[in-house]
């Protein structure tokens, strides 16, 4: 029997059967409704894990549409995911790619493919999302903000390679040294980016198209400019294209660029794949949500322990329009993660947005 070849309808039928059958099986335990509910949840989770393995929600189809998870979610699972990971609709989760380092992504609307723009987040990435706030709510909040609402510190990019993830830094340093030796006039315009600055850039860009969880915040991306950085100049464009082609071939192509060497909506962005923390499956995510729920009953302040990375900054404040006043960012939830490897955001064609 081949589970993975079953139609989703068939899988749902089995789950429905299981859910309707479970109370009958457990009728003898009517005196212990909590145990019964737990048993039902556990049975449901086990069945869904079997019926919807990772490869059923991995990557994108040939039209660029993410393979969203088709697994049904119980009310309890939905509650946990909303509360601890800001997910309003778990049916918009999918795995970034088929590689061993793939991680769960969440779209705040369904991506129809064909270059349509949707907002995508790495699940569990630290960000300026507040405790209990969903990603959708964060987007609505950012739309009410103006660049002037952010502290001055976020206006200046960090250009120090020392701010990179220590595991990624040597590769970037090697690449830059080799590029300059090869005659490329390249300069660093941004390295590590705090989630606050990421949010600032999003708000500056209209808050409509963005990735709020950039690889810059994980310390695995650098924005590089060639020559005077003016792509309207034929000469600069040619030199930059040559540099990007050179990067694509450096050390067996270990660095990732956005788009093609001569065609991109984000020319400066160079990132080192891998090394980014994330959740590898829906089951792993649900398990983390359950653990966070248990933890939160003991220490509510830490119930949002859904951030996978260490905080690198903290205590910054962002002013919010309207009556909300100043909203402090709780330390420990500050550091963001990935830039979306699969999505295109043409509106962010200015340097330094991915």
**Site track 1-30 with Zn ion (rule: CB under 5 A), x = hit:** ------------------------------
- For residue 269, the minimal CB distance to Zn ion (Å) is 3
- For residue 227, the minimal CB distance to Zn ion (Å) is 18
Smaller CB separation from Zn ion, 221 or 282: 221
Nearest-angstrom CA–CA distance, 354 and 349:
9
Residue 224: count other Cβ atoms within 10 Å of its Cβ. Answer: 25
- For residue 127, the minimal CB distance to Zn ion (Å) is 16
Smaller CB separation from Zn ion, 66 or 352: 352
DSSP state of 58: B
Site size for Zn ion, by CB under 5 A?
4
DSSP state of 129: P
Smaller CB separation from Zn ion, 65 or 161: 161
- Please say whether the beta carbons of 43 and 76 come within 8 A: no
Q: Please choose, from the candidates 111, 15, 19, the residue with its C-alpha nearest in 3D space to the C-alpha of residue 63.
A: 111
- For residue 13, the minimal CB distance to Zn ion (Å) is 46
Token digits of residue 125: 């990435």
Burial of 319 (0-12, 13-18, 19+ CB in 10 A): middle
Which residues, 212 to 241, sit near Zn ion by CB under 5 A?
Answer: 221, 223
Smaller CB separation from Zn ion, 26 or 229: 229
354 is an interface residue for Zn ion by CB under 5 A: yes
Smaller CB separation from Zn ion, 83 or 266: 266
Which H helix or E strand runs over 240? helix 234-249
340 is an interface residue for Zn ion by CB under 5 A: no
196 is an interface residue for Zn ion by CB under 5 A: no
Which residues, 248 to 307, sit near Zn ion by CB under 5 A?
Answer: 269
Which H helix or E strand runs over 328? strand 325-328
Nearest-angstrom CA–CA distance, 60 and 37:
35
- Which positions touch Zn ion (CB under 5 A)? 221, 223, 269, 354
């Amino acid at each position: 029997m081949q589970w993975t070849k079953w139609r989703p309808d068939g899988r749902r039928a089995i789950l429905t059967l299981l859910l309707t059958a479970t109370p009958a099986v457990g009728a003898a335990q009517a005196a212990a409704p909590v145990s019964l509910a737990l048993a039902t949840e556990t049975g449901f989770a086990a069945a869904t894990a079997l019926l919807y393995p990772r490869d059923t929600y991995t990557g994108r189809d040939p039209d660029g549409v993410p393979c969203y998870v088709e697994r049904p979610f119980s009310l309890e699972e939905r509650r946990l995911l909303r509360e601890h990971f800001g997910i309003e609709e778990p049916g918009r989760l999918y795995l970034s790619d088929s590689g061993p380092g793939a991680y769960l992504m969440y779209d705040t609307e369904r991506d129809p493919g064909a270059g349509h723009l949707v907002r995508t987040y790495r699940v569990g990435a630290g960000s300026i999302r507040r405790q209990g706030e969903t990603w959708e709510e964060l987007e609505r909040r950012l739309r009410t903000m103006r660049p002037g609402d952010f502290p001055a510190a976020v206006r200046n990019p960090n250009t120090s390679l020392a701010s990179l993830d220590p595991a990624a830094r040597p590769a970037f340093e090697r690449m830059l040294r080799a590029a300059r030796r090869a005659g490329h006039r390249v300069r660093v315009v941004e390295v590590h980016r705090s989630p606050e600055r990421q949010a600032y850039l999003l708000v500056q860009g209209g808050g409509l198209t963005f990735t709020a969880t950039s690889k810059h915040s994980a310390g695995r991306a650098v924005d590089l400019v060639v020559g005077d950085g003016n792509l309207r100049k034929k000469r600069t464009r040619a030199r930059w294209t040559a540099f990007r082609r050179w990067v694509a071939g450096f050390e067996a192509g270990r660095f990732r660029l956005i788009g093609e060497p001569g065609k991109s909506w984000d020319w400066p962005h160079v990132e080192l794949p891998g090394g980014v923390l994330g959740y590898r499956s829906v089951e792993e995510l649900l398990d983390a949500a359950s653990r966070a729920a248990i933890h939160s009953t003991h220490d509510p302040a830490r119930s949002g322990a859904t951030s996978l990375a260490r905080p690198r900054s903290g205590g910054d404040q962002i002013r919010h329009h309207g009556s909300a006043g100043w909203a402090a960012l709780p330390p420990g939830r500050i550091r963001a993660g990935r830039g979306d490897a699969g999505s295109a955001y043409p509106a962010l064609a200015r340097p330094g947005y991915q």
